[in-house]
Amino acid sequence: MKQLYELSRKFPKEWIKKAPKGKFGNYVPHPVITQRLLEVCGPFDWEVVELIRQEKNGSVVGCFGKLTVEIDGKLVTVTSIGDVEHDQKNDGSNAKHAESDAFKRCAMKLGLGLHLWAGEEYYLDKQLDKKSIKKKANLQSA
């Protein structure tokens, strides 16, 4: 579970950005999430499955995304929905914002940046580290 542990590690404080005024939750920018995913797991497959359009005028307001990556020898696929927080009045820009949001939400389901959503209730990295230490000890005593 080495890769899963690496994905669960908290991002350094200097990489965490403050939420814009009036918005909830600090965040890690898309390029940083992508770099960590590539660093830990290597190449991955990413797909925007479907754009979500507003019923009234047909403008893009979100998208469904699908991320497939190999983690610790297991192929894992996660899906999520991204939305457009600030309408850019342009479907291309709105689609990019929604895609970025969906990608980060998919990555969060793999542990990347999960500590930002969980806040003080975050424990995954410590639990995975304990399991890793216990496994190493068992291997050494065998």
Domain count for the chain: 1
Please tell me the predicted confidence (pLDDT) of residue 87.
85
Site of tokens 């500590």: 115
Q: Which CATH number covers residue 53?
A: 3.30.390
| Other Cβ atoms within 10 Å of 33 Cβ, number | 21
Q: Which residue has the higher pLDDT, 27 or 138?
A: 27
pLDDT band for position 26 (cuts 50, 70, 90): confident
Mean pLDDT of 21-41: 90
Q: Provide the residue range defining the domain that includes 53.
A: 2-141
Percent of the chain having pLDDT more than 70?
A: 92
C-alpha 56/C-alpha 107 separation (Å) is 31
Let me know: does 65 contact 49? Beta carbons within 8 Å: yes
| Other Cβ atoms within 10 Å of 20 Cβ, number | 9
Please tell me the predicted confidence (pLDDT) of residue 118.
92
- What are the φ and ψ backbone dihedral angles of 61, each rounded to 5 degrees? -120, -5
pLDDT band for position 25 (cuts 50, 70, 90): confident
pLDDT band for position 105 (cuts 50, 70, 90): very high
Flag whether pLDDT at 124 surpasses 80: yes
Q: Phi/psi class of residue 89: alpha, beta or left (left: φ > 0; alpha: ψ in -120 to 50)?
A: left
Region of poorest pLDDT, from 2-6, 25-29, 107-111: 25-29
The overall pTM is greater than 0.85: yes
Please tell me the predicted confidence (pLDDT) of residue 130.
84
| Host H or E run for residue 3 | helix 2-8
Residue-wise pLDDT for 64-85, tens only, equals: 999 999 999 999 999 999 999 8
DSSP reduced 3-state for 75: strand
